[in-house]
């Protein structure tokens, strides 16, 4: 995935999208320049064309890789009784992978993931381990899972961080991962869920809301929006496969979508900061302000209600008899064991 590629194009920027699909979250076991018009022309044009240094995304990627190495170290497949069944045990030794029939993604066992921070509903609700709602987003089920997620993060995260800075993108990433975990705990009853894709879907949702709230500063916005919606729909549709935690994807996407209206708002085109007390055109449109307020209220209410339901042990499936189809649709080729 990558963020819409936006460049200055006269009075508005061209919005194009070249987005690679984000991989799933799995659960186991069960610069163009625009010159100022006058010496004292400040504000939106300079702000829009400024690019931030990118350091957060590389740090997040390194942190995820480091966590995978640590988990594999403690997994120690040969020592845990699998012996010759461990994949790559001859040269990887304690870093060897679980047998493919147990974990086809080249990774540790579900027990190890659960022990070192994977999202386990029982431990969150009854074990006072709420920290798992966030730590699960830093773990991955296997080498394939890790690689696909980190490549997607680089494609979308670098572009967003260059445009909006590390703290805005960081907040969207962290809270989207948390929102995905909350929805997952409400509906996924069995197994251990891990992966950063809830946070990645949050960045995708934020890209969509950013395009909506900053609609007037883009040119080919309809094509960009159609591209984003199609990519999001395709990837959410892939979440109906077995052992893919689509609730984490949906929760992350909705969280990021709301936060995009709040954190990724940009000044309208033509906004001026006049010196010496001159009259200033409004920095944001009334529509942008309304969207910001509504999205912020919905995000706060959503987290409050969701967390309250989680810690009360509410089973979301009791209130939505068809929602389990959002994460797995049984067919003649597979069964849904959730």
In a domain, 243, yes or no: yes
In a domain, 219, yes or no: yes
**Domain total in the chain:** 1
Q: Which of 140, 145, 243, 249 does the annotation list as catalytic? A: 249
pTM value > 0.85: no
Measured distance CA(239)–CA(224) in Å, rounded: 23
- In this prediction, residue 283 carries a pLDDT of 82
Look up 197 and say whether it is catalytic.
yes
In a domain, 35, yes or no: no
In a domain, 2, yes or no: no
Average pLDDT, the chain: 82
Q: Which of 96, 152, 197, 209 does the annotation list as catalytic? A: 197
Q: Which residue has the higher pLDDT, 279 or 110?
A: 110
Q: Which residues contact 52 (CB under 8 A, 6 or more apart)?
A: 161, 162, 163, 164, 165, 166
- Where is mean pLDDT largest: 36-40, 105-109, 255-259, 268-272? 255-259
What CATH number is attached to the domain comprising 60?
Answer: 1.20.1540.10
Measured distance CA(107)–CA(148) in Å, rounded: 14
pLDDT band for 13, please (50, 70, 90 cuts): low
Please provide the size of the chain in residues: 338
Contact criterion met (CB below 8 Å) for 2 and 18 = yes
Question: What range defines the domain where residue 173 resides?
Answer: 55-268+282-326
What's the whole-number mean pLDDT along residues 216-224?
A: 82
In a domain, 76, yes or no: yes
In a domain, 11, yes or no: no
Indicate the SS3 state at residue 200: helix
- Where is mean pLDDT largest: 2-16, 87-101, 188-202? 188-202
* Bridge partners for 16 per DSSP: 5
> DSSP assignment, residue 185?
H
């Amino acid at each position: 995935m990558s963020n819409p590629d936006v460049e200055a194009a006269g009075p508005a920027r061209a919005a194009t999208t070249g987005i690679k699909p984000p991989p799933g979250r799995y659960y186991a076991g069960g610069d163009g320049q625009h010159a100022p018009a006058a010496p004292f022309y400040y504000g939106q044009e300079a702000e829009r064309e400024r690019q931030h240094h990118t350091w957060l995304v590389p740090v997040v990627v390194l942190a995820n890789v480091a966590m995978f190495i640590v988990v594999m170290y403690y997994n120690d497949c040969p020592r845990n009784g699998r012996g010759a069944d461990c994949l790559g045990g001859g040269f990887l030794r304690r870093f060897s992978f679980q047998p493919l029939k147990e974990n086809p993604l080249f990774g540790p066992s579900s027990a190890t993931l659960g022990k070192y921070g994977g999202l386990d509903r029982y431990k969150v609700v009854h074990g006072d381990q709420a920290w798992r709602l966030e730590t699960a987003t830093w773990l991955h089920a296997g080498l394939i899972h890790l690689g696909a997620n980190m490549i997607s993060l680089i494609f979308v995260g670098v572009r967003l961080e260059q445009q909006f800075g590390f703290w805005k993108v960081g907040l969207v990433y962290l809270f989207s991962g948390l929102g995905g975990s909350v929805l997952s705990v409400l509906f996924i009853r069995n197994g251990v869920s891990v992966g950063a894709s809830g946070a990645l879907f949050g960045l995708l949702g934020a890209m969509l809301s950013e395009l909506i709230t900053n609609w007037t500063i883009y040119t080919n916005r309809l094509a960009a929006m159609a591209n984003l919606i199609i990519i999001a729909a395709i990837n959410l549709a892939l979440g109906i496969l077995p052992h893919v935690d689509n609730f984490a994807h949906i929760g992350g996407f909705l969280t990021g979508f709301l936060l995009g209206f709040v954190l990724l708002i940009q000044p309208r085109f033509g906004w001026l900061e006049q010196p010496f007390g001159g009259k200033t055109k409004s920095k944001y449109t009334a529509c942008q302000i309304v969207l910001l307020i509504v999205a912020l209220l919905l995000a706060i209410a959503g987290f409050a209600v969701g967390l309250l339901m989680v810690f009360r042990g509410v089973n979301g499936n009791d209130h939505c008899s068809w929602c389990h189809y959002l994460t797995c649709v049984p067919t003649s080729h597979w069964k849904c064991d959730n």
